[in-house]
């Protein structure tokens, strides 16, 4: 089969067929592909040689920007030194070093790390640890898991069960038994154009009390939420909401899991969103930013109390029957160590915090732009919600994404919500360009 057409970096149409692309309109894409061939700093290069300003850190992950030399060199060096080390009953130093480095950044009580390879695996791992923990402490009746409407926790069976996006759930049968959901916190009537955390909505956490009464605390193992719900279209937690969830879960012996796959590693201007919001959960899932997207990696931070609960059996016993061939893969660990060092050396989390007011002012200047019905933001994340076109929900959002692409700017749409999450190295002029491109595109859109 011919793979390359005359232009060396462009694939012939037939060569696009075999790859079944994830979360993609395959037939539409293959008619008119959008291909990246290089990435450096804040820019991608397309296969037709255009520069695309990355307003989305790849896919919420390249927080240090693209192709950063220290990360690239660390990966190259590790690949040449030791490609792989068995994950079970053996170790390699970088795995332990990276766990220590992550714990150093984490909220005080979270001091152990379980490694995996993605956000989805991190979520399924955290849910399994929650169930096993409750059983290990003699509360084996606590088998229920509680997520939230509109939550995104990846695509494993556990993640879609506790997740609350119906398109991700409806095709996959009964999912997991014993899962319930909190209401989401989105309300445009009350909170449209809030800057940072909205004032209204803390009481929505009290719905957890209702679920606890309905099911009885003795049946509930854990609650999992994204502190800032990203993939559903950037929903910022109302003031006091996460604190209330913490109070209720603690009161009833229920574990609280924060899914920080997007928010960890500087996205909101702190190491973890837990620091930003001042709420310490029992577990944190992370992925994406830990290697700045350079090598797949995920993990779960767990509290000392949870870890110690597993350490009481016979000394030679395996404490948790769970793990992945590629848990703490040497390349991912090398990338992670170099990434965390780069964040520190360049003060990138502080930089994000310092830039946040400028970013906020820029995105809120979209208020009044045609079709815009809400702008919301926290740290270096924003959601710009557009009015849906009658009978064509999502069309306006997708057209906005395509028109920005044509103008050399990468944004992401979830339905009719445009999400922005630039790398933490973004310059002020680049923020202005992203926002002015959106203004221009929306102004011209039907
Ligand atoms: C909060 C959250 N959890 C889990 C995931 C799944 O991560 P992955 O795609 O690496 O499996 C994502 C991905 O965007 C996410 O945003």
**C-alpha–C-alpha distance, residues 99 and 376, integer Å:** 34
- Determine the distance from the C-alpha atom of residue 289 to the mean position of all C-alpha atoms in its chain, rounded to a whole number: 9
Residue of 416, 430, 424, 429 whose CA lies nearest to 385? 416
pLDDT digits 0-9 by tens, 20-35: 999 999 999 999 999 9
CA of 440 to the centre of ligand 1 (A): 31
Give me the architecture of the 13-64+347-444 domain, per CATH.
Alpha-Beta Complex (3.90)
- Ligand 1, residue 229: give the atom nearest the CA: 1
Long-range contacts of residues 88-94, Cβ cutoff 8 Å, at least 24 apart: 88/323, 91/328, 92/328, 92/330, 92/333, 94/328, 94/330, 94/333, 94/334, 94/337
Percentage of the chain beyond pLDDT 90 is 97
- Mean pLDDT within 88-97: 98
- Judge whether 13-64+347-444 and 72-345 match in fold: no
**Ligand 1 centroid – CA 290 distance (Å):** 13
pLDDT of 127-155, one tens digit each?
A: 999 999 999 999 999 999 999 999 999 99
* Domain parsing of the chain, residue ranges: 13-64+347-444, 72-345
> What confidence score (pLDDT) does residue 9 get?
63
Task: State the closest ligand 1 atom to the C-alpha of 263, by its place in the atom list counted from 1.
Answer: 1
Instruction: Give the residue, out of 225, 288, 296, with the most ligand 1 atoms within 8 A of its beta carbon, to mutate for a pocket test.
Output: 288
Q: Quick one: average pLDDT of 339-358?
A: 98
Torsion sign across C-alpha atoms 388, 393, 394, 400: negative
- Choose one of 59, 120, 295, 296 to mutate for the ligand 1 pocket test, by most ligand atoms within 8 angstroms of C-beta: 120
Give pLDDT, residue 10.
83
Three-state DSSP class for 240? Answer: coil
pLDDT, average across residues 73-88:
98
2 pLDDT more than 90 = no
Specify whether the CB–CB gap between 253 and 81 falls below 8 A: no
Closest alpha carbon to 160 in 95, 170, 269, 277: 170
Give the per-residue pLDDT at 1: 41
Ligand 1 centroid, distance to 231 Cα (angstroms): 8
Render pLDDT for 369-393 as a digit per residue (tens, 0 to 9). 999 999 999 999 999 999 999 999 9
Q: State the chain's mean pLDDT as an integer.
A: 97
> Looking at the predicted structure, is the pLDDT value of residue 332 above 70?
yes
The count of C-alpha atoms lying within 13 angstroms of the C-alpha of 8, restricted to the half-sphere facing its C-beta, is 0
Classify domain 72-345 at the CATH class level. alpha beta
């Amino acid at each position: 089969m011919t793979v390359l057409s005359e232009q060396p970096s462009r694939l012939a149409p037939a060569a696009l067929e075999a790859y079944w692309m994830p979360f993609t309109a395959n037939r539409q894409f293959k008619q008119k592909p959008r291909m990246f061939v290089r990435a450096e700093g804040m820019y991608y290069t397309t296969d037709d040689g255009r520069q695309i300003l990355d307003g989305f850190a790849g896919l919420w992950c390249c927080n240090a920007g693209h192709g950063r030399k220290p990360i690239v060199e660390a990966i190259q060096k590790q690949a040449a030194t030791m490609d792989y080390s068995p994950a079970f009953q053996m170790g390699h130093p970088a795995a332990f070093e990276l766990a220590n480095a992550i714990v150093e950044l984490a909220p005080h009580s979270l001091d152990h790390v379980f490694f995996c390879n993605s956000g989805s695996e991190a979520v399924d791992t955290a849910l399994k640890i929650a169930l096993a923990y409750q059983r290990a402490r003699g509360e084996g009746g606590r088998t229920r898991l509680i997520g939230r409407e509109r939550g995104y926790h990846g695509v494993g069976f556990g993640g879609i069960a506790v997740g609350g996006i119906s398109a991700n759930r409806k095709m996959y049968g009964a999912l997991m038994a014993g899962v319930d959901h909190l209401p989401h916190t989105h309300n445009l009537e009350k909170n449209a154009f809030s800057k940072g955390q909205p004032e209204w909505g803390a009481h929505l956490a009290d719905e957890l009390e209702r679920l606890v009464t309905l099911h009885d605390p003795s049946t509930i193992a854990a609650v999992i939420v994204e502190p800032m719900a990203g993939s559903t279209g950037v929903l910022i937690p109302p003031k006091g909401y996460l604190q209330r969830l913490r109070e209720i879960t603690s009161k009833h012996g229920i574990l609280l899991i924060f899914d920080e796959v997007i928010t960890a590693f500087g996205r909101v201007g702190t190491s973890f969103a837990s620091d930003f919001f001042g709420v310490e959960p029992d577990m944190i899932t992370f992925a994406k930013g830990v290697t700045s997207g350079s090598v797949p990696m995920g993990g779960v931070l767990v509290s000392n109390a949870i870890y110690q609960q597993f350490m009481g059996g016979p000394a030679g016993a395996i404490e948790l029957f769970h793990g992945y061939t590629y848990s703490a893969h040497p390349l991912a660990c090398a990338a992670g160590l170099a990434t965390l060092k780069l964040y520190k050396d360049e003060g990138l989390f502080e930089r994000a915090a310092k830039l946040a007011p400028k970013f906020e002012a820029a995105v809120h200047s979209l208020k009044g732009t045609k079709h815009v019905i809400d702008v919301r933001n926290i740290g270096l994340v924003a959601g710009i919600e557009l009015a849906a076109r009658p009978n064509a929900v999502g069309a306006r959002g997708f057209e906005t994404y395509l028109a920005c692409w044509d103008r050399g700017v990468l944004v992401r749409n979830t339905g009719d919500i445009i999400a922005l999450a630039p790398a933490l190295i973004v310059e002020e002029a680049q923020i202005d360009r992203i926002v002015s491109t959106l203004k221009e595109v929306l102004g011209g859109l039907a």
